[in-house]
Homo-oligomer: A and B are copies of this chain.
Amino acid sequence: MIVLYGFLPSGNVYKVRLLFAHLGIEHRRIEVAQYAGHTSLPAFRRINPIGKVPVVRLDDGSVLTESGAILYYFAQGTQFWPSDLQAQTETLRWMFFEQYSHEPPIAGNRYMLGYMSDRTGLEGLIAMNAARGEHALRVMDGHLAEHSWFSGDQYGIADIALYAYTHVANDGGFDLSPHAHIRRWLNDVCAQPRHILLLQETSVSPVTTLEEERGV
Contacts and interface: CB of A to CB of B under 8 A. Distances in A.
Interface of A: 49-52, 62, 64-70, 72-73, 76, 85-86, 88-90, 92-93, 95-97, 99-101, 103-104, 121, 124-125, 135-136, 138-139, 142-143
B69 A96 contact: yes
Taken together, the copies of this chain in the complex come to 2
B49 A69 contact: no
A66 B121 contact: no
A49 B139 CA distance: 6
Contacts of A51: 135
Given A69-B89, A72-B88, A125-B125, 6 more contacts: A64-B93, A65-B93, A67-B96, A73-B89, A95-B96, A100-B103
Nearest to A99: B100
Contacts of A100: 66, 99-100, 103-104
A140 to B, nearest CB: 10
A143 B142 CA distance: 40
A71 B203 CA distance: 36
Contacts of A88: 72
Contact of A99 (B72, B86, B99): B99
Contacts of A136: 50
Contacts of A66: 92-93, 96-97, 100
